[in-house]
Structure 1
Amino acid sequence: MMDEGDFRVGDVLSVACPFTVTRVEQGVTWDHVSVRWPWWQIDSSNEFGQWNGIVALGVGSGGGAPDVAECELFRTDPPPEQLKAGDVCRVGVPPTVVHVTAVDHHDPPLETVWLPRPTRTVTVLRRGRSYREFPDDSHLDGSGYTIHPGDGIPFAFELLMRPYASLQVGDEVADAAGRAWRFGGPWDWAAFDDEPAGAGPAWPLILLARAGTPCSAEDAEAVATSTASGSHYGTVRDWMALTEASPTP
């Protein structure tokens, strides 16, 4: 299992949450099932609003792209079509492959109507969903599902793939073709010359600078070793095979 503070854009994860007993509230509609949330606490001191302890989970087609249910990670047991208000059920997340599209840190913690307040937000897409399908860049209407690690929900994360794990955003490298690049993320490579990026950097890579300063020998060796075999194309191909999606911008 991975550290809950360790997430990067491009990561491919398996995420799960143990199924926990709860109760259906307010019935089931064509697109949502509302359940008493078994993990968060109501923040009774919040001055901006009050939460009733109920969370609505997407279960059906909203008529748009993508379907609400296809973004939702949580599931009920039994499924929503077998439930009505007052029924006892379980809610949780079966092991689900996702990829990370954004990581945000909150200091001070995010203001919410529940406790504990989130200190980070990780936005993910389920396998088979591409960020490019959602040009409005909204994380609230299907472009991604937001997870708040450490907010009381007992998520378990397993890292399946981290493309370019030895690099950090802002690193400057030279490739085997003699071109210099800036690493902005696995799918965000900027060449220092005026030529098109083309197929990306040619492996192996030489780390030139980290955080604007000359890199250490240890960091340089890690980058050289991790790119000694394979290719940028192979990394993209392997990532797409796991996610069944196009790389995020």
Structure 2
Amino acid sequence: MGADHRVGDVLLVSCPYTDARVTRLTRREVVVEWPWWEVDPDCDWIEWNGQVALAGDPASYDWDLELFRTEPPPRHLEVGAVCKVGIPPTVVHVMSVERMDPPLETGRLPRLETQVMVLRTGQSHDPDLEWQGYGIAPDDGIPIALDLLFRPYACLVAGDEVADAAGRAWRFDAPWDWHPFDGQEPSEPAWPLSLLTRDGRPDDAAATVVARATRSGSHEQELARWVELTQARPTRLVVVRDSARQPNR
């Protein structure tokens, strides 16, 4: 997997099923010896025991958040049994991306450098919730595949300034997060678009790409395609958070 994930991306997530031993079962969880990570010997404040708890009750709220599944299902497992753990092909959309510098200590290796928060098909971002979504670390050693199905406004990057067909100037922050310089409604640009600046300066090559990509179609068509795939409501989200952290001690 590459590290170029963006808010609004629609992804097909999967992970090959791998053997894991069941260490504990409760009504809501199945705990397994995790087959991918290692204990971080240089982390002296978090002691990871090599185990991970997965949602085990299909009727619970956690079940819809969890991506990993066991084969056989939790109801057919017992402590000490060897099962398989993986992710069946699942469509998700990216809610936020966070990058940590230095990497975050979690008690296991690899340390967390990037976390992509995703929501399943049918789940919409709720800004009133303190925590939502499922975190995927693209470079943490788990063989997760993230296949890009659709990237709305793939020709633009956060911070681009454009002019639309009506002559209005806009700043693009995310597919559904547009800011007109005049502060007036409506809240979406009219295609085709002309790139004014990227990284604060003109970019002729990028401008050609933007003009070509928006020659046909519309903001409404981009949105309709996204909603078709995600079955979710579009919201304004955080594009990327770069976290400069002090070493965790």
Unaligned runs of 5+ in 1: none
Counterpart residue number, 1:125: 119
The two structures, once aligned, show a CA RMSD in angstroms of 1.4
Q: Which amino acid in 2 is paired with 1:204?
A: P
Q: Distance in 1 between matches of 2:38 and 2:213?
A: 44
2:199 to 192, 211, 228: 211
Structure 1 residue 59: Cα displacement: 2.7
Q: Distance in 2 between matches of 1:76 and 1:189?
A: 41
Structure 1 residue 135: Cα displacement: 1.4
Structure 1 residue 30: Cα displacement: 2.2
2:157 to 145, 151, 168: 168
Q: Distance in 2 between matches of 1:59 and 1:232?
A: 41
2:7 to 2, 6, 9: 9
Higher RCO by CA contacts (8 Å cutoff, separation 6 or greater): 2
Q: TM-score, normalised by structure 1?
A: 0.91
Counterpart residue number, 1:136: 129
Structure 1 residue 43: Cα displacement: 1.5
Q: Which amino acid in 1 is paired with 2:201?
A: T
Q: Distance in 1 between matches of 2:46 and 2:198?
A: 44
Matched, 1:90 2:77: no
Q: Is the Cα contact below 8 Å between 1:110 and 1:117 reproduced in 2? A: yes
Counterpart residue number, 2:148: 159
Structure 1 residue 194: Cα displacement: 2.9
Q: Distance in 2 between matches of 1:236 and 1:17?
A: 29
Question: What is the correspondence of 1:10-159 to structure 2 with a 5 Å cutoff?
Answer: 10-27=8-25, 29-60=26-57, 67-132=61-126, 135-138=128-131, 143-159=132-148
Counterpart residue number, 1:178: 167
Q: TM-score, normalised by structure 2?
A: 0.91
Q: Distance in 2 between matches of 1:181 and 1:45?
A: 47
Counterpart residue number, 2:245: none
Unaligned runs of 5+ in 2: 237-249
Q: Is the Cα contact below 8 Å between 1:31 and 1:62 reproduced in 2? A: no
Q: Distance in 1 between matches of 2:129 and 2:30?
A: 26
Q: Distance in 2 between matches of 1:240 and 1:137?
A: 24
Q: Is the Cα contact below 8 Å between 1:163 and 1:239 reproduced in 2? A: yes
What is the SS of the residue equivalent to 1:69?
Answer: helix
What is the SS of the residue equivalent to 1:106?
Answer: strand
Counterpart residue number, 1:241: 228
Cα 1:120–1:229, aligned 2, differ >3 Å: closer, same or farther?
Answer: same
Q: Distance in 1 between matches of 2:223 and 2:186?
A: 15
**Residue deviations 1:37-93 (CA, integer Å, cap 9, x gap):** 000001233211211111001133686xxx100010000000001112111100000
**Structure with more of its chain in strand, by fraction:** 2
What is the SS of the residue equivalent to 1:166?
Answer: coil
**Residue deviations 1:18-37 (CA, integer Å, cap 9, x gap):** 0001111122x222111110
What is the SS of the residue equivalent to 1:235?
Answer: helix
What is the SS of the residue equivalent to 1:108?
Answer: strand
